[in-house]
Each structure stands twice: as C-alpha cells, then as structure tokens.
Amino acid sequence: MKTLTIAVFVASLLAGLALSASEANEARKALNIVNFVRSADPRQPRAEMISAVREEVALNLKYGFKNTILLQYDALVDPEMMAEALKSDKAKTEFGLWFEMSRPLNEAAGLPWKPKGAHKNWNWDWHINPGFLMAYDHAGRKAIIDAAFRRFKADFGYYPKSVGSWLLDAWSMDYMEKTYGVDGFCICREQDNTDAYGLRGGYSNGAYYPSKKNMLSAAVNMENAVKSPVFKMLTPDPIYNYGRPYNLYRGFPHNNPPTMEPAMSGGFKPENVDWYFRVYTEPKGLMNLSYMQAGQENSFCWYRISRGWPMQCAKIAAEAAAGRFVVEKMCETARAFKAAHKANCPQTQIALEDWSGFGRKSVWYNSRFYRANLIMDGKRLVFRDIHKMSDDFEEPFLDKVCTGWQALYYTPPVVDQWMFRGKGVSGVMSFGGEFASIETAADGDALVVTAKRADGTAATVRFEEGRIVVSGAGTLDAEYETKFRKDISIADGGIGFVFQGFRYRVPVRGEVKSTAKGFSIAGDRIELDLSKFGR
C-alpha cells in the first residue's frame, strides 16, 4: 500500500510538472480599468464631466474593482473634480497622471500657453501644438513633467506610478521612468490621424518596452529601451481596428475602427463585449500577456458612457469571478510584466470569429523584431500587415519641436494594406488558392497557423521571434501603390525598402521576382528574416 501511495504521489507530481511545462507560454490574462479625468475641456458641460467621474467611481465601489484613475493637471488642481475622484476606495484605486497640456500646467511650468485659431481662448487643446509634450523642446518637456509630478506628490505624498496620454514621446517616457520611477505608460491604440495623432506599427496590443528613439517601436535590444512598459489603450478589435475599415471591407457598417470603449457601438452592445472577452481569453496560441483595458474619459460625459459602462462592469465582475482574467491596477500589471519579462516577448491577438457576421478571421503576432497580421477574408488569405521594429528608426519629434497641429508615428513597414493600397492595387501579400479555415497553436514562443484550402491542401505559417516561415503557399504575391513601389528593390536574396528616408532590408529564402505591382516569392518553404537590420 505504501509503495502504491508513493507511486501515485510521483505520478501526480510528474503530471503537475507536465502541466506546468505545457502552460509555460500561455498568456497571463489581465484587464485594467482606466478612467481618466479632465477638467478644462471646453467642449462639454462641466456638470456632466463631474457626473461622469462620480458615476465611474460609484461603479468601482459597487463591484470592489481594483482600478486606475489618471488625472490631467487641470483636474488635479480642481477641488470639485478631485472631491469626486477621492471618494474612491483608496486601497483599490491607483491615482496617476494623464499627460495632456493645459493652461494651468503650462503656467505652473513657467511656459506660455498659446492655442491657435478658434481655440485661442481655450484652457485645453486637443491639437499636438500646444496640447502635447512634442510641442516643446527638451527643456520645456522637463519643466512641464517636473511641475506635474511636483504637484501630484504635494497632494498625494508620493509620485505617480502610471502615466497615460493619447500620445507620449520616447524622450519624456525615459525621463519620467528614470527620474520618478514610473512603472507603466499607456497610449492610444493604433489609429490613422484621428484628432491630431496617428500611430501605425508597433505592438498591435499588449505591453512592450519602447525604444528610446521611438516610443511606438518595441526595443530590439534592452540597452536601447525605456525600462517601463507601454500598454495600448481601449482594447482594439483584432479584425477591424486597422485603417478605416469602412474603406477596406465590404459591408462593414462603421468608418471608425472599433474598440471596447463603452461610449461607442463596439462597447455598448452586450454581444460585442462578450465577443471581446472570448477573443482575449479563449483562442489557442495566446501567449505571455493577453491585455484588455476598459473605462472611459470623463469628457464623453455620463449620458454617453452610461450606454455601455454599467453593463460592462457587471460582465467584468462575472468574468473575473469565473477566473477568465484578473482585474488589476495598471501599475500592478506593469510590475508583473517587468518581473516576468526582462526583454520584449512575443504576444498574440487571435480572432477566429467575427462579431460583424462576415466571417473574417485575424491573427496578430508581435515580437521585438516585428509585428505581423494574417487575415482571412472570405476565401482569401493574406498578410495584411508586417512592420519591422528598429532601435534606429526615430520618431518625428524625438529632438524636434512640433510646430504644426498633428504628429504621425510609424515603424518601418514591409506590408501595410492601409498605406500601400491604391487603384487596382491591394496593398497586401496574398496566398494562392481558396481557403476554408484557420487554426492556431502555440509552440513555445512561436505561433503556428494552419490554413486549410477548400481543395484539401494547406498552408502553414510559423511566426517565430525573428522570422516568418511559410510552407505550402506556393507563391506569395505582394502589391504596392506606385509611390511606395518605387522605393522597393529586389537584390541579393532579399527585399530592400526605403521609408521616410530610412533604409532597411528583409532577407528572403525563396525565389523573389519583381512584378508589375510589386514582387512575388515562390518556394515550398519561404522564410522572411525580420531580425536583420542592415540598410
């Protein structure tokens, strides 16, 4: 009997070890509730903005959520707004900074406040100049950051550990991390020049250590990294948060890329919210971190936020209770990421069902070398997107001052449907044949996608940290609009690119040929080496 007991114990131990090994690369699933607060927004009635904070705090208290409230400087110095924010459960609420400029902040920093045109009398301005840090030189950015952190500490007794903004620059992130010990940052999800900023490239979602030269690019080498991670906000839709989907996909009913924002249609329909929770928790192949962010800025006002936020809160509570994800303060998720990952790690977003009913399927893979997206639209399978990461590709206002109204951030593109499409040109890299299904599976830090054709054959795409390996494609055909095509060259077993004056190259295994619209790659096994940075 004793021998049998020992045998059972050993078998149980081995089974546990095997389970741990199989789960080693599974994603940690985390959700942050981030509500950020302005006071000096002239577009909305002040009473409505105060009401939004009051109601958001009340829902956090009702469900006992851990949460993060990010305060714009003008809210920080507004006693009435702060009175509502401070009704939060202090043990479960993290207070941090929302970094857009305003007249009170600039005055505290000893800098002029100069909004333009119709905004000339506003105390806050959504244009990059004067509303964001890129509108100031390094000395100005330092003065603004110091003034905000100084006031925050005077009020709370400590420096904030989380900082957010629709757009931050790499210099300022690095300064905040080194000087004030910020644990994590959040910025806007990918978008194309909505308001005054556009972001194309970088991690499609999740967390990454940004390059010191370009906050949108994951650092390839950690000596070139800001040492605190960046999160993408709003929980982007892995299928339709790309370009303006109304212009890309037949039958799509909305022009704006959808997210889980409760004031928007993607976030106030219960069936859509359920879809987001399934996509970010269930697919095979989710790895390292599957990240969601919920909440809303108070500028949307409660009459709009209330369309979706109470419903979302009830669902978040139920999903968390069922163990499908953990609800944390943003600083906690940032610290957990830093503890688990000393460098940028692969992360995936996988949507094999389509809430819109059109049956589209989308797979994203992100690593320190590149990000790529495979999408199946009807019977067609394409690479919609491949962007390289680079420690040398600088953001536009790293050391310069933005004197205009907008700032557009990129990483070096290899395939980009939104940018590269044109009349009679798809802008994608397409597979031959008609496809019927996609399956995904993780293999360590690699993601394996098996795409089956209607004729019974299959193509396999293996996303590895530094390369993409394609088997069974036959030929991959890439098409580029003329103005981009002229900056592409085929030579020495690879493809050369020039983007915004920056030269980079992708070595290729397979037969590469120029075509009238771009190039084709043929072979039983095609490899794109995205780890090389030769120019």
pLDDT of 255 reads: 76
Distance CA 277, CA 445 (A): 23
| Residue (of 193, 215, 190) closest to 205 by Cα position | 190
Strands 518-529, 502-514: parallel, antiparallel or unpaired by DSSP? antiparallel
Distance CA 420, CA 463 (A): 22
Question: pLDDT means per 10 residues in the chain (535 residues)?
Answer: 40 38 72 97 92 98 98 97 98 98 98 94 95 98 98 98 98 98 97 87 98 98 98 96 90 84 92 97 98 97 96 98 98 98 98 96 98 97 98 98 96 98 97 97 97 97 98 96 95 94 96 96 97 67
| Whole-prediction pTM | 0.94
| Residue (of 1, 83, 69, 4) closest to 37 by Cα position | 69
Please count the CA atoms within 13 angstroms of the CA of 348 that sit on its side-chain side: 32
Distance CA 48, CA 298 (A): 8
Helix (H) or strand (E) holding 486: none
Integer-rounded Cα radius of gyration of the chain:
24
pLDDT of 8 reads: 37
pLDDT of 22 reads: 36
| Residue (of 280, 274, 297, 168) closest to 228 by Cα position | 168
pLDDT of 257 reads: 81
CB atoms under 10 Å from CB of 327, counted, come to: 23
Q: What is the 3-state secondary structure (H, E, C) of 3-35?
A: HHHHHHHHHHHHHHHHHHHHCCCECEEEEEEEE
Q: Yes or no: say if 220 and 214 are a contact pair by the CB < 8 Å rule.
A: no
pLDDT of 316 reads: 98
Burial of 491 (0-12, 13-18, 19+ CB in 10 A): exposed
